[in-house]
Amino acid sequence: MMRARKNIVVLKFGGTSVGDVRKIGKVADRVIKTRNEGKDVVVVVSAMGDTTDRLIEIAGKVTCNPSRREMDMLMSTGEQLSSSILAMAVQERGYGCVSLTGSQAGILTDEFYSNARILNIRADRISKELKEDKIVVVAGFQGINAEGDITTLGRGGSDTTAVALAVALKADYCEIYTDVGGIYSTDPNLVRKAVKMHSLSYDETLELASSGARVLHTRAVEFAKKNNVVLHVRSSFNNDEGTWVMNERDIDMKMEKPVITGVTSDTDQVKISIFELEDKPGEAARLFGKFSDNNINIDLIVQNVSEKGLAAISFTIKPGDLSIAREVLKELEQEHAVIDTEVAKISIVGAGMQAHPGIAAGMFGILADRGINIEMISTSPIRISCIIRKSRVKDAVRALHSGFDIK
Amino acid sequence: MMRARKNIVVLKFGGTSVGDVRKIGKVADRVIKTRNEGKDVVVVVSAMGDTTDRLIEIAGKVTCNPSRREMDMLMSTGEQLSSSILAMAVQERGYGCVSLTGSQAGILTDEFYSNARILNIRADRISKELKEDKIVVVAGFQGINAEGDITTLGRGGSDTTAVALAVALKADYCEIYTDVGGIYSTDPNLVRKAVKMHSLSYDETLELASSGARVLHTRAVEFAKKNNVVLHVRSSFNNDEGTWVMNERDIDMKMEKPVITGVTSDTDQVKISIFELEDKPGEAARLFGKFSDNNINIDLIVQNVSEKGLAAISFTIKPGDLSIAREVLKELEQEHAVIDTEVAKISIVGAGMQAHPGIAAGMFGILADRGINIEMISTSPIRISCIIRKSRVKDAVRALHSGFDIK
């Protein structure tokens, strides 16, 4: 049955939203609801609940060092399974539906197994199914490389699949369903007054995502920004509007722009300090080059020069990289570096701060009033981050949230 | 690393052989052993242990009537999973190995989901991997149709995959690993003196398979016969030689050919008798046409004409088809047909019986001596089957096995 093409939307459901068969039924209902609102619907799903952990566990019993190609072959079965089950649930409710693997959906990636990037989407098959009036369910997180081998997209991969499909299909928008319901001004578990934001710019969302907010993965937001895809982050469990992420100029200008939109915290930080680095060109490059060669991501960096003419440098890394970092320090004959695992990062984010000088001073003042010591500072045009003691994180987040009067 | 092409063998491991991670390790060892004997090795695997049942269970929670396309999408994950895990186990032991889905292995089928037939194999990818000195693991039971959709091959599908790959790759032979160790003269659980046969012709194997022996699926044997692929049915748990299946003329002629090679029994039988069918042309065709339209397989058929000029006809079906069969009988106004579920089929099979008249008489005599009544008889050039009471099956099998002195 052929018919005129309607507006397309892409809906993405994460692992908790498809955690069990009952939840998949709810997802099917919601997909059909959107369809009945007159949209052509493409759905992207993650693997059901703990499938991914279970698959990793099976592989772990066979080898400590699985090849990435075979891991991708294995892991991709999780999303293939959930997509076929969701398709059955939609069909059971009387609607035409078809599930597609990443390969069938035409998602072509580069060759980097376990962390592949999408190069292109050949959407002919999806378009054909939509024209035949079907709801299309695509297995998230996966694609194929030029060899025809299955690749996976790494952390946040299903978000990236959804955004990439929205681009390829020229969708009206892309809805990301979560168990949280939107993007909040800070962690609602820490601050009861945390508010759900109505709309955010891509840049604010990126800063929030990279400062510890876990709702959206940076890569998906970058992809959306580059291609101007409107995102709607909302709850799988109710019909409330969530948070819209879009170009700053598209955000309703009648609303008074808040200066600070969010406060985030990240306790996954380790601070490393080296006190006697020769203060000459190339020393820092040699240091960080070595870290980069070992795939260690550096977050904040602060450097000072002491009176003796030696540089003191501090930087933060993720705890998971600590053991490799120790080896690198040894190689660099920097065994005396001080490693501090009791630190955390807090950040305030807001596109409005560009037009408001004094925000940094305000932040430092609020923290000082509470007796919270600032150990490192890093800024971007729309973000200020401070490293503080891990034990003071809750205090700091609450003080900043109420101090900047976020609502 | 390129090297000269060696002889290729295809090894197939069923669900019990890859039942858990420890068993997969054993399979990896065996695959490597074959490789170290100087062969290029292609392995076909079924899904691990109860994976298939578990997948069916999940689908059953979502719908009572899943579409076949989506079921194939779902079921095919089972073999994809086991093939990647086996590839990891082989790699862990220091050998190059790659797993391939049915699609990646180039297995092209017709469009009949859940029961597809292989149309063609494009073996370029497998050949390329073998040339690069890798062991290739192929997910059994699956292929793709012309649309690029995943299909599964129905019962015994992994055996068929293995034989089809052996044909496409011009393999020396195809080894089917089972938990039984070969094809026996009869069920070793019924008759302790059951003997493992050294070699069988395709026709004998086909007759045994369709008479209740469960070692190989008919379709795979037919495929092997048509393409003259030598099969070796052997144990996953030891190194003993199993049973070779090949063309009759290739079987070692020095060995005295036994007249009877096997005794089988099949208790999955229901007998239906219709006593008053008009004895005119087309009546039986109408009856069995209706059964065939409803996908009911008829096994044995016996027809007599009574003195009244009415035909009496008896036939057997599988118990699983009984409820549909009742409906068909109603449609045909044959509600008075007698349905008997307490019957069983016993068969003797042997290519030698063609040259030995009197085998049938011998069989009937042995059964008569035991007071076992024969209710229906059916023969092929190398098989004689009788329908008897289900309660007498063990007696009958033991009597025939010792009566024909099979060893």
Three-state SS sequence of A70-107: HHHHHHHHHHHHHHHHHHHHHHHCCCCEEEECCCCCCE
pLDDT digits (tens, 9 = 90+) for B273-316: 988 777 677 777 888 888 888 888 888 888 776 667 777 888 99
Q: Which of B66, B77, B103 has the CB atom closest to A88's CB atom? A: B66
Question: Looking at the complex, does the CB of residue A236 fall below 8 Å from at least one CB of chain B?
Answer: no
Residue A98 resides in a domain:
yes
Domain boundary among B161, B179, B197: B179
The mean pLDDT of A152-165, rounded to a whole number, is 93
Q: Which residue has the higher pLDDT, A193 or A136?
A: A136
Residue B235: helix, strand or coil by DSSP? Answer: strand
Domain boundary among B118, B146, B179: B179
Q: Which of B21, B71, B99 has the CB atom closest to A62's CB atom? A: B21
CA distance B215 to chain A (A): 29
**Residues on chain B touching A152 (C-beta within 8 angstroms):** none
Residue B240 resides in a domain:
no
Closest chain A CA to residue B69: A98
pLDDT of residue A186: 87
Residue A165 resides in a domain:
yes
pLDDT of residue A107: 98
CB contact under 8 A, A62 and B25: yes
pLDDT of residue B195: 87
**Residue A237: is its pLDDT beyond 50?**
yes
Residue B222 resides in a domain:
no
Question: Looking at the complex, does the CB of residue B27 fall below 8 Å from at least one CB of chain A?
Answer: no
Instruction: Give A388's strand partners.
Output: A344
**Residues on chain B touching A58 (C-beta within 8 angstroms):** 21, 81, 85
CB contact under 8 A, B104 and A148: yes
Question: Looking at the complex, does the CB of residue A73 fall below 8 Å from at least one CB of chain B?
Answer: yes
The mean pLDDT of A86-110, rounded to a whole number, is 97
User: In which residue are the tokens 């979502």 written?
Assistant: B62
The span from the CA of B109 to the CA of A111, in Å, is: 28
Instruction: Give A217's strand partners.
Output: none
pLDDT digits (tens, 9 = 90+) for B316-368: 999 988 988 999 999 888 878 899 999 999 999 988 787 777 888 889 999 99
**Residues on chain A touching B104 (C-beta within 8 angstroms):** 148-149
CA B161 and chain centroid, separation: 13
Task: Please give the share of chain B, as a percent, with pLDDT higher than 90.
Answer: 59
**Residue B186: is its pLDDT beyond 70?**
yes
CA distance A322 to chain B (A): 27
Candidate ranges A177-186, A207-216, B7-16; pick with highest mean pLDDT: B7-16
Written as one string, the DSSP assignment of A263-323 is EEEE---EEEEEEEEE-STTHHHHHHHHHHHTTPPP--EEEEE-TTSEEEEEEEE-GGGHH
Structure confidence at residue A255 as a pLDDT band (50, 70, 90): low
Tokens standing for A401? 């949230």
Amino acid type, A365 = G
CA distance A229 to chain B (A): 30
Give, to the nearest 10 degrees, the angle between helix A51-62 and helix B68-92: 30
CA distance B213 to chain A (A): 34
CB contact under 8 A, B55 and A81: yes
Question: Looking at the complex, does the CB of residue A69 fall below 8 Å from at least one CB of chain B?
Answer: yes
The mean pLDDT of B75-91, rounded to a whole number, is 98
- Inter-residue contact B259 to B350 (CB < 8 Å): yes
Question: Looking at the complex, does the CB of residue A250 fall below 8 Å from at least one CB of chain B?
Answer: no
Q: Which of A70, A84, A85 has the CB atom closest to B99's CB atom? A: A70
The sheet carrying A262-266 orders its strands as: A262-266, A343-349, A383-389, A376-380
**Residues on chain A touching B24 (C-beta within 8 angstroms):** 62
Residue A384 resides in a domain:
no
CB contact under 8 A, B63 and A92: yes
- How does strand B97-100 pair with strand B40-45? unpaired
Tokens standing for B372? 């076992």
CB contact under 8 A, B74 and A67: no
Cβ atoms within 10 A of the Cβ of B338, count?
10
**Residue A276: is its pLDDT beyond 90?**
no
Mark whether B276 and B140 lie in a shared domain.
no
Tokens standing for A180? 């949280």
Written as one string, the DSSP assignment of A251-277 is S-TTSPPPS--EEEEE---EEEEEEEE
CB contact under 8 A, B81 and A77: yes
pLDDT of residue A102: 98
Residues in Cβ contact with B210 at an 8 Å cutoff, skipping those fewer than 6 apart: B218
Task: Please give the share of chain A, as a percent, with pLDDT higher than 70.
Answer: 96
A95, A125, A306, B60 from A89: Cα distances, Å: 9, 21, 67, 10
CATH of the domain at B334: 3.30.2130.10
First to last CA, chain A: 50
The sheet carrying B376-380 orders its strands as: B301-305, B310-317, B262-278, B338-349, B383-389, B376-380
Question: Looking at the complex, does the CB of residue B49 fall below 8 Å from at least one CB of chain A?
Answer: no
Question: Looking at the complex, does the CB of residue B380 fall below 8 Å from at least one CB of chain A?
Answer: no
Residue A184 resides in a domain:
no
Q: What is the mean pLDDT of chain B?
A: 89
CA distance B112 to chain A (A): 16
What's the domain range around B117?
8-179
Q: What is the mean pLDDT of chain A?
A: 89
CB contact under 8 A, B70 and A87: yes
Indicate the range of B103-107, B123-127, B320-324 predicted with least confidence: B320-324
User: In which residue are the tokens 């719908």 written?
Assistant: B63
Structure confidence at residue B2 as a pLDDT band (50, 70, 90): very low
CA distance A74 to chain B (A): 5
Residues in Cβ contact with A133 at an 8 Å cutoff, skipping those fewer than 6 apart: A1, A3, A96
Amino acid type, A297 = N
The total domain count for chain A is 1
pLDDT of residue B302: 82
CATH of the domain at B120: 3.40.1160.10
**Residue A1: is its pLDDT beyond 50?**
no
Q: Which of B315, B319, B311, B310 is nearest to B375 (CA)?
A: B315
Structure confidence at residue A382 as a pLDDT band (50, 70, 90): confident
Closest chain B CA to residue A63: B92
Structure confidence at residue B190 as a pLDDT band (50, 70, 90): confident
Question: Looking at the complex, does the CB of residue B146 fall below 8 Å from at least one CB of chain A?
Answer: no
Residue B208 resides in a domain:
no
Candidate ranges A185-199, B116-130, B213-227, B291-305; pick with highest mean pLDDT: B116-130
Rounded to 5 degrees, φ, ψ at A292 are -65, -40
Residues in Cβ contact with B337 at an 8 Å cutoff, skipping those fewer than 6 apart: B272, B273, B274, B329
Mark whether B131 and B273 lie in a shared domain.
no
Question: Looking at the complex, does the CB of residue B61 fall below 8 Å from at least one CB of chain A?
Answer: yes
The mean pLDDT of B4-32, rounded to a whole number, is 91
Question: Looking at the complex, does the CB of residue B300 fall below 8 Å from at least one CB of chain A?
Answer: no
Structure confidence at residue B222 as a pLDDT band (50, 70, 90): very high
**Residues on chain B touching A66 (C-beta within 8 angstroms):** 88, 91
Residue B282 resides in a domain:
yes
Q: Which residue has the higher pLDDT, B217 or A143?
A: A143
**Residue A2: is its pLDDT beyond 50?**
no
A95, A127, A159, A164 from A123: Cα distances, Å: 21, 6, 17, 11
The span from the CA of A335 to the CA of A274, in Å, is: 9
pLDDT of residue A37: 93
Rounded to 5 degrees, φ, ψ at B225 are -60, -50
Q: Which residue has the higher pLDDT, A284 or B390?
A: B390
pTM given for the model:
0.82
Widest Cα–Cα separation across chain A: 81
Q: Which residue has the higher pLDDT, B281 or A68?
A: A68
